[in-house]
Structure 1
Amino acid sequence: MTNKELTHEQQEELIKTLKARFEKNNERHEGIDWASVQAKLDANPEKLWSLHEMEATGGEPDVVGYDAKTDEYIFYDCSAESPKGRRSVCYDREAWEARKNHKPENTAMDMAKDMGIELLTEEQYRELQQLGKFDLKTSSWVQTPENIRKLGGAIFCDRRYDTIFMYHNGAESYYAARGFRGSLRV
């Protein structure tokens, strides 16, 4: 067993958790049935490890869509606030290395890569906000366009005053209330 495999018991527990969340939040995935999602998970067990990591860091992953072109179900982190286990991170390795003092333990991009997921884009973040009210007290790094990143910046989003805001910050910054949300295709 490699470190990116789950035991049979872990797989069963995760499937049980995902199914319960799926059934509790039908408005996030209208027209999608759990049996089809489970069949896709059963056929792609390597994706369970990534979903387990999303769950373990507080992301509460749930199905938010289906891409008919690629025949993939799309999972996003649906925790009310930015996942607790992914906060206090700067944007990427370059930003981390640029910090002279008080480096955070990790970066959003490194964590996402290690977990086998992608940071949400701004567009995906706005789609998520159509499914509920997220990040009312926290904020989440989102994928930053290369032209902004080359200039030292990174972008993040949150929801305040019933409005979704996109902001900028130095990519090396990190805050206890800022993490990141991820997506996974199965």
Structure 2
Amino acid sequence: MNFTINNRISVYGGIITFSITGIGVFLVGNVSGYEAKQLIAASLQGINMLCNTIVLASATILALILTLLGVSSTGTKSKLKKEHYRQVIIIAKFDTVLFVSALVLFQFFNIPITETDNVPAIWYKYVYWTTLFFSSFLSGFMVSVVLMLYATIKNIIDIVGLNKDHRLLYKEDDDK
């Protein structure tokens, strides 16, 4: 519950993104197995590009987290609370799940499923809807990770760059 309260903008941003892309998908309506097979073939390039972009972005975010940790530990004279480091761990965990999920979806679409005749036509319908659900989910998840990273970077800028008194700064009276 504390996670949702501290990251509500990030969570809401992800849910809104997921909802908007999901609603767009469901506006397509019901499709038959043959139509789904054609739609899968038509959308393969876009889904592969989405997965590639998310994999690249999430790997870059993990590298940026290392830089963020360096700035957090050496960039300020004050000591940061454990809450800051917990937030960074949460971002790293979410980003890793996002990385792996996008990579698995990408690998799934490297299977030439639309080229085979051994798959029953009804399966294409389920593959199509599952694909659209997961691509919407990955998009929303990516927005959440980026918004969490933004909030963390904003906190570091407030503390290190602007020398603001911040709730994440450790104070001696915090021990009491």
**TM range, smaller chain:** under 0.3
Q: Which one has a bigger Cα radius of gyration?
A: 2
> 1 or 2, which has the higher helix percentage?
2
Compare relative contact order (CA 8 Å, sep 6+) and give the higher one, 1 or 2.
2
More strand by share: 1
* TM-score, scaled relative to structure 1: 0.25
